[in-house]
């Protein structure tokens, strides 16, 4: 169809939402948007995100050529270009809009665009490099890799995926590297006091903030990293001597474990940085530079160890071995299934394996179960919205990525009358998860009554209901009950 006969109505692409848009939600969750940052929603549509952010006390302005054309947009720490470039049919204008948004961002630009998924664009008419809907709106559906390459080419900056179709682009490399390092830094508990010592008791108010920082770093901080360094040194002689006292009263083992975990986190970060063109040591924030020197001696040694891990994570036999020996997750013949809360407890090789997928697709919204395929080089993200409340939750959506081909396979089960369901939920969780014991009690009840025999016959909602009905049982929450005899 000739392009001049099609009228494009961009104003119709603005949607009203009940909650935050996907890019805004992820930016809030990732700590990129908060009260200390100014925000510009560039192409804000009807301004729903702007109103919600202001309601949270966040300084936010919105601009849209159709709905909020005045005043003109001004610079902000964070600029959101959410689902704008995919509705601009003119490629030159699309490019100019992207570059203008980049110019307005002082700290980070968020770009979101529609990604090609099964079923999208059916019945649309081809127009330029995209499609025109029956409503007269233009849509360009990108492949995830296509969108990433487009942003990188136009802005000459590495895009960091937040989720499918959403990328962060940082103005400052140090900020980007700190953000990425934080993603792979696990939270640790502050070691408890084991023995009493008078000198600690006398200086507890001074030492406790120091202990908090030690728990994060896993090493003695530099004087520049701790505001009360001079005062602490005056009392104890040095920060190293203060740490020696802390180790005596809390126990050496806790600090050895914290240092080990911190070292592993750095290796995971450096291994995955190889995908994004690993920066020189000078391109890392000062704190990360100190971490590397403290734990590895120098950057060359750290990178070599990280590369060895990355190479191992690409070996199917090594992945299979790591899955089989994992103390976390449910091992099946073709995969290890792990609840999101258990990812941090995985072996570093498996963390890197999953991290490779995350470096491509970001966080899949709602995904709470991760399937690490043992042989095929794939990672699947599974969405079970009622995992905690439903004793046998149903699968709503799955996103599978092949690390070898970068092919995405997305399946939607929301309209399925008998979707796949879960059993033995506790097996997916880390051992210290607060709900593990509760889930395990239900499994024990079901095992005692033979309900989990022949597992192949109870994998869907309908087959499981038939099993319960046939055996005369029903579920009340996470308790198995006998049906009353009528």
CA 371/CA 102 separation, integer angstroms? 36
Sorted by sequence, the CB contacts under 8 Å of residue 84 that are 6+ apart come out as 42, 43, 97, 101, 113
Q: Does residue 127 carry a pLDDT above 50?
A: yes
Q: Residue 461 in contact with residue 485, Cβ under 8 Å? A: no
Backbone torsions φ then ψ of 392, nearest 5 degrees: -140, 75
Residue 469: its H or E element: helix 461-471
Provide, rounded to the nearest whole percent, the portion of the chain with pLDDT above 70: 94
| pLDDT value at 2 more than 50 | no
Does pLDDT of 308 surpass 60? Answer: yes
d(CA 349, CA 343): 11
Q: Is the pLDDT of residue 5 over 60?
A: no
Output 123 or 147, whichever has higher pLDDT: 147
CA 473, 476, 477 angle in degrees (round to 5)? 130
Looking from the CA of 197 toward its CB, the CA atoms found within 13 Å total 17
Task: Identify whether 231 is preceded by a cis peptide bond (ω within 30 of 0).
Answer: no
The mean pLDDT value for 247-268 works out to: 94
Which tokens is 307 given?
A: 């590369």
CA distance 127 to 318: 47
pLDDT at position 10 over 60: no
Helix 239-250 to helix 204-217 angle (10° resolution) is 90
H or E element in which residue 366 lies? none
DSSP H/E element including 123: none
Q: Which residue has the higher pLDDT, 476 or 2?
A: 476
**Count of other CB atoms within 10 angstroms of residue 264:** 18
Whole-number Å distance between alpha carbons of 273 and 305: 13
Give Cβ neighbours of residue 42 (< 8 Å, ≥ 6 apart).
63, 73, 79, 80, 81, 84, 100, 101, 104
Q: Helices in 274-404 by DSSP H: which ranges?
A: 286-296, 299-313, 316-325, 348-361
As given in the structure block, the two tokens for residue 158 are 């590495």
Query: Please, are residues 60 and 38 in contact by the beta-carbon 8 Å criterion?
Result: yes
Element (H, E) at 207: helix 204-217
Where does the pLDDT of residue 4 fall: very low under 50, low under 70, confident under 90, or very high at 90 and above?
very low
**Which one, of 217, 298, 222, lies nearest residue 259 by Cα?**
217
Distance CA 194, CA 177 (A): 37
Residues, the chain: 486
Average pLDDT over residues 429-450: 96
pLDDT band of 232, cuts 50, 70, 90: very high
For the ranges 261-265, 431-435, 480-484, which has the lowest average pLDDT?
Answer: 480-484
Number of H helices, E strands in the chain: 16, 17
Confidence of residue 9 (pLDDT cuts 50, 70, 90): low
125-127 and 39-42 beta bridge pairing = unpaired
pLDDT at 188: 82
Mode of pairing for the β-strands spanning 378-383 and 335-339 = unpaired
For tokens 């508990």, name the residue. 189
Q: In whole angstroms, how far apart are CA 417 and each of 172, 367, 420?
A: 49, 21, 10
Map 38-92 to HEC letters: CEEEECCCCCHHHHHHHHCCCCEEEEECCCECCCCCCCEEEEEEECCHHHCCCHH
Query: What pLDDT is stored for residue 3 in this prediction?
Result: 43
Q: Mean pLDDT throughout 355-361?
A: 94
pLDDT score of 132 more than 50: yes
Question: Contact at 8 Å (CB) between 82 and 21?
Answer: yes
Question: At 244, is the pLDDT very low, low, confident or very high (cuts 50, 70, 90)?
Answer: very high
Structure tokens at 42: 């560039």
Tell whether the model's pLDDT for residue 12 goes beyond 70. no
Structure tokens at 270: 């450096």
Domain 3-171, architecture per CATH: 3-Layer(aba) Sandwich (3.40)
184 pLDDT higher than 70: yes
- Contact yes or no for 284/177 (Cβ under 8 A): yes
Nearest CA-CA partner of 137 in 244, 11, 306:
11
The rounded mean pLDDT for the chain is: 92
Q: DSSP class of residue 333?
A: T
pTM summary value: 0.87
pLDDT greater than 80 at residue 126: no
**3 state SS for 211-263:** HHHHHHHCCCCCHHHCCCHHHHHHHHCCHHHHHHHHHHHHCHHHHHHHHHHHH
């Amino acid at each position: 169809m000739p392009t001049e006969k099609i009228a494009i109505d961009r104003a119709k692409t603005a949607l009203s939402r009940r909650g935050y848009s996907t890019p805004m939600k992820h930016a809030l969750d990732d700590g990129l948007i908060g009260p200390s940052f100014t925000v510009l929603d560039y192409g804000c549509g009807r301004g729903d995100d702007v109103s919600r952010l202001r309601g949270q006390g966040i300084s936010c302005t919105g601009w849209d050529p159709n709905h909020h054309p005045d005043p003109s947009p001004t610079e902000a720490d964070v600029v959101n270009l959410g689902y704008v470039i995919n509705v601009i049919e003119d490629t030159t204008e699309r490019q100019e809009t992207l570059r203008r948004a980049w110019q307005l961002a002082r700290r980070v630009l968020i770009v979101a665009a529609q990604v090609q998924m099964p079923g999208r664009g059916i019945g649309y008419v081809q127009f330029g490099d995209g499609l025109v809907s029956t409503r007269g709106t233009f849509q360009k559906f990108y492949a995830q890799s296509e969108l990433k390459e487009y942003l990188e080419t136009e802005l000459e900056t590495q895009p960091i995926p937040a989720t499918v179709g959403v990328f962060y682009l940082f103005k400052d490399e140090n900020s980007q590297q700190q953000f990425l390092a934080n993603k792979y830094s696990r939270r640790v508990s502050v070691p408890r006091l084991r023995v009493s010592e008078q000198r600690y008791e006398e200086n507890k108010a001074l030492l406790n903030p120091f202990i908090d920082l030690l728990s994060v770093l896993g090493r003695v901080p530099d004087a520049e990293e701790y505001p009360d360094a001079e005062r602490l040194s005056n009392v104890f002689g040095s920060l190293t001597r203060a740490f020696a006292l802390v180790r005596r009263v809390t126990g050496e083992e806790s600090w050895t474990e914290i240092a080990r975990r911190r070292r592993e986190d750095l290796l995971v970060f450096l291994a995955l940085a190889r995908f994004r063109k690993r920066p020189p040591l000078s391109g890392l924030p000062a704190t990360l530079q100190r971490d590397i020197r403290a734990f590895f001696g120098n950057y060359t040694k750290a990178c070599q160890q990280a590369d060895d891990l990355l190479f191992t994570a690409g070996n199917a036999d090594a992945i299979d071995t790591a899955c089989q020996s994992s103390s976390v997750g449910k091992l099946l013949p073709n995969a290890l299934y792990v609840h999101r809360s258990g990812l941090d407890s995985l072996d570093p090789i498996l963390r890197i394996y999953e991290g490779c997928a995350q470096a491509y697709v970001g966080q899949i919204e709602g995904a709470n179960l991760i399937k690490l395929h043992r042989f095929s080089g794939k990672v699947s993200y599974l969405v079970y919205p009622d995992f905690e409340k439903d004793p046998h939750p149903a699968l709503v959506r799955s996103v599978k990525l092949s690390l070898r081909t970068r092919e995405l396979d997305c399946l939607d089960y929301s309209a399925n009358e008998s979707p796949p369901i879960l059993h033995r939920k506790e097996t997916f969780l880390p051992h210290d998860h607060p709900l593990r014991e509760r889930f395990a009690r239900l499994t024990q009840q079901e095992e005692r009554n033979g309900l989990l025999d022949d597992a192949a016959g109870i994998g869907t909602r309908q087959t499981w209901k038939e099993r319960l009905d046939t055996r005369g049982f029903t579920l009340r929450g996470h308790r198995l009950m006998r049906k009353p005899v009528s």
